[in-house]
Structure 1
Amino acid sequence: MEKRVTILLPNGRRQNVSVTANMTLLEILETACTKHGFDSEEHCLKFHNKDVCLTQQFRFSGLPNNCVLEMEPTKKRRIVSNVVVCIQLSDGSREQGEFAPNDTVWQVVQKLCGSKVSTFESPIIIYMRSEVIGQQNMEQTTLKSLGILEGRAMMRLIDKKPEELKTQANVYKPPEVQAKPKGDDEQPSTSRSAASGAGGGGFALTSNLIKSLKRSAPEVNADAENDKEMPSEKDEQPEAPKYDWGSGSGYSLHNAATTPMQMDNDADDSPGSAPPVVNVIGPRQAVLFSLDATQKQYDELPDSFFDLTVNDLKMVLRDLKRTSAGDEDAPLLTAKLRELERQKAMLSKLNQYKECVLRIQFPDRFVLQGMFKPHETLAKVKDFVREFLVHPSEEFNLFTIPPKKVLPTDETLLELNCVPNAVLHFAFLKDDLNTENHRFVLEKFVDQLTSEEGAHYAVQKYRCTRATVSASS
Structure 2
Amino acid sequence: MDKRVTVLLPNGRRQNVNVTANMTLLEILETACSKHGYDAEEHCLKFHNKVVGLTQQFRFSGLPNNCVLEMEQTEKRRTLSNVLVCVQLNDGSRQQADFSPNDTIWLVVQKLCESHVNGYESPVIVYMRSEVIGQEQMRQTTLKSLGILEGRAMMRLIDKKPEDLKTQANVYKAPAVKPRVDNDDQPSTSRSAMAAGGSGGGGGFALTSNMIKNLKRTAPEENASGSEPAKTSGEDKQEQQPQPEAPKYDWGSGSGYSMHHPPERKQDENEVEENPGRAPPVVRVIGPRQAVLFSLDESKKNADDLPDSFFDLTVNDLKMVLRDLKRTSTGDDDAPLLTAKLRELERQKTMLAKLNQYKDCVLRVQFPDRFVLQGIFKPHEPLSKVEEFVREFLVQPGEQFHLFTIPPKKVLPSDETLLELNFVPNAIVHFGFLKDSLNAVNNRFVKEQYMDQLTSEEGAHYAVQKYRLTRATAAGSS
User: For this structure pair, what is the TM-score category when the shorter chain's length is used for normalisation?
Assistant: 0.7 to 0.9
Partner of 1:132: 132
Aligned residues: 442
One-letter amino acid of the counterpart of residue 326, structure 1: G
Check conservation: 1:85, 1:155, Cα contact below 8 A. Answer: yes
One-letter amino acid of the counterpart of residue 361, structure 1: Q
Partner of 2:223: none
Summarize the Cα distance change of 1:428–1:314 in structure 2 as closer, same or farther, 3 Å threshold: same
Check conservation: 2:45, 2:69, Cα contact below 8 A. Answer: yes
Correspondent of 1:410 among 411, 415, 440: 415
Deviations 1:317-370 (A, max 9, x none): 333332232222211100011011111111111111111111111111111111
Check conservation: 1:376, 1:412, Cα contact below 8 A. Answer: yes
Which SS does the other structure have where 2:55 is aligned? coil
Q: Provide the C-alpha distance between the structure 2 equivalents of 1:96 and 1:175, rounded to a whole number of angstroms.
A: 41
Kindly state the Cα deviation for residue 313 of structure 1 after the two structures are TM-superposed: 3.1
Provide TM-score, normalisation by structure 2: 0.84
Establish whether residue 248 from structure 1 lines up as the match of residue 256 from structure 2. Answer: yes
Check conservation: 1:390, 1:442, Cα contact below 8 A. Answer: yes
Kindly state the Cα deviation for residue 93 of structure 1 after the two structures are TM-superposed: 2.3
Establish whether residue 101 from structure 1 lines up as the match of residue 101 from structure 2. Answer: yes
Establish whether residue 170 from structure 1 lines up as the match of residue 169 from structure 2. Answer: yes
Check conservation: 2:47, 2:68, Cα contact below 8 A. Answer: yes
Alignment of structure 1 residues 211-360 onto 2, 5 Å: 222=232, 225=235, 243-244=251-252, 248=256, 261-266=270-275, 268=276, 270=277, 273-360=278-365
One-letter amino acid of the counterpart of residue 166, structure 2: K
Partner of 1:60: 60
CA RMSD of aligned residues (A): 3.2
Establish whether residue 437 from structure 1 lines up as the match of residue 442 from structure 2. Answer: yes
Partner of 2:371: 366
Kindly state the Cα deviation for residue 292 of structure 1 after the two structures are TM-superposed: 0.9
Correspondent of 2:470 among 462, 465, 473: 465
Summarize the Cα distance change of 1:296–1:246 in structure 2 as closer, same or farther, 3 Å threshold: farther
Q: Provide the C-alpha distance between the structure 1 equivalents of 2:17 and 2:315, rounded to a whole number of angstroms.
A: 56
Provide TM-score, normalisation by structure 1: 0.85
Check conservation: 2:254, 2:426, Cα contact below 8 A. Answer: no
Check conservation: 1:360, 1:426, Cα contact below 8 A. Answer: yes
Q: Provide the C-alpha distance between the structure 1 equivalents of 2:161 and 2:181, rounded to a whole number of angstroms.
A: 48
Check conservation: 1:259, 1:464, Cα contact below 8 A. Answer: no
Which is worse superposed, 46-55 or 415-424?
46-55
Check conservation: 2:125, 2:132, Cα contact below 8 A. Answer: yes
Q: Provide the C-alpha distance between the structure 2 equivalents of 1:105 and 1:184, rounded to a whole number of angstroms.
A: 62
Summarize the Cα distance change of 1:432–1:194 in structure 2 as closer, same or farther, 3 Å threshold: closer
Q: Provide the C-alpha distance between the structure 2 equivalents of 1:36 and 1:250, rounded to a whole number of angstroms.
A: 55
Fraction of identical pairs, as percent: 71
Summarize the Cα distance change of 1:113–1:264 in structure 2 as closer, same or farther, 3 Å threshold: same
Kindly state the Cα deviation for residue 452 of structure 1 after the two structures are TM-superposed: 0.8
Q: Provide the C-alpha distance between the structure 1 equivalents of 2:469 and 2:398, rounded to a whole number of angstroms.
A: 36
Which is worse superposed, 387-396 or 297-306?
297-306
One-letter amino acid of the counterpart of residue 158, structure 1: I
One-letter amino acid of the counterpart of residue 283, structure 2: V
Q: Provide the C-alpha distance between the structure 2 equivalents of 1:364 and 1:36, rounded to a whole number of angstroms.
A: 55
